[in-house]
Chains A and B, each alone.
Chain A
């Protein structure tokens, strides 16, 4: 990014001063190195979001920000319904409620050493992954409507888990205000056979080992010890969420035109929160969130079944489940007043600090677990929302590494077989439905997640608790 576009306010805070049509400032949290790597388009997208009606506080970008659709990936923007605030399909993205769920296993590294290949094979057979994969569950339209209002709570009622699981999922595993009547029949049709599937691209299921603890008391509260085996799942709302995004992007674009709403870029399609399109999208998007939560819950059930067959002593419990593509109604302090606002997080993770009533009792004194996914060959991190995150970024942090190389360039540089072999030499077993997919997802195609995490930590958005490295990775 051209340094002339931003003013440095502190080591990790950069300002895009309000100008032109901007209603608020833009704020980027990044190091000098990360700012240098960012595209100028990120600044343009931050400014565009800052110009949308009803935006409050600032238009934020997290340390992993990169060029996205309308909002930058890593963008956060909150809108006040009392000030003609908007809701944006582009501000959520096509993979509604894509997120990370991390599971305890009750196992240590020595428990799985000799069974690693068996575990990898079993998980790969059990978890549907890749293009065109289907789940075992076939849902009727009526059952699907129950999923869309019930979320992970529905899945638990069907036997895919236990009630305790729900405590450790955002919104208690069920997003209120969902209404399947606003989800198209096409979106529902796409989901008929896709419940309990991982997807493809950067989605994964990883068996990980905790290799470093940075904050002992918080790690203890989260149930993390050195040498622990954890399992992390990264996926979203599958075909249903993608279709909701597609449907409402078009509706919002056409409605904006007829309402005279000037959009700086078409992907920023949005609608007033109190308009019919805005309300419809909110109800549909919340249905998409429930679909994602149910999907990750069913995948957890499949993990439990698979692990029980190989290592019966495994005790799979949720550490936490957090989405990084959402819009949620939250209370924040805006200009000294508590206000209900709609916070868009596009490729950004909620990072509520200690005391938040939205957190389960177990985490209320520590703050929220913030789950940051890495790539097949690098580390993932667990952070905790800090007391300052609310005032710094409306309680938000980074979400992952972000690509540094296009898919086309990656396939020119690497072959899938070589990627898998190299990772195996490092002790990481890869199971994937697609060799080309592996090449496109090669670790070298991504930025270094550690730098993004260090900056989030240093800026106070969320602080480091533990580092996990992959042992097994199942890819679509």
Chain B
């Protein structure tokens, strides 16, 4: 066997092994990109924590939970067979763009900023993190009805929720062991680097 052929076969073997590892074997689960916006699931509040904060259904109406995922819970408000509205609570950790739309809001409900999206959707940002949304379905709801529904959520309970793990922050050393940072990076440059993602995000 010529040397060239041996090298060729060796390289082919390595390439096929790598291919198999990443595309066929479950190694893919370890790669980044598995979670929404690459935020670790432990940093997002689970949807099961939101369920008890939904408003209670009025007589003649029904509240049916339809989805419950990490950082999200949704229910339908039904009257008989017709769906009146979608009610949802979501954790905006995975969708920072959703938070920025509240920057210019002038309306407030129970002290939290309120925003209208189109003719049928109202959103409220609680504790700068959780978004409560009501979307009118079918014949639709007017803004007053939607705001009333948002107000019926347990907003104080929502503001008090905490994720299982706080977002990863730079680790601080124990007091007494702290030393000045030796890396020659000007502080202004560091600040700029930190604020870049916020500027680059598309406005919601």
- Whether chain B is bound by chain A comes out as no
Task: Using CB atoms and an 8 Å cutoff, list the residues of chain A in contact with chain B.
Answer: none
Chain B positions near chain A (C-beta within 8 angstroms): none
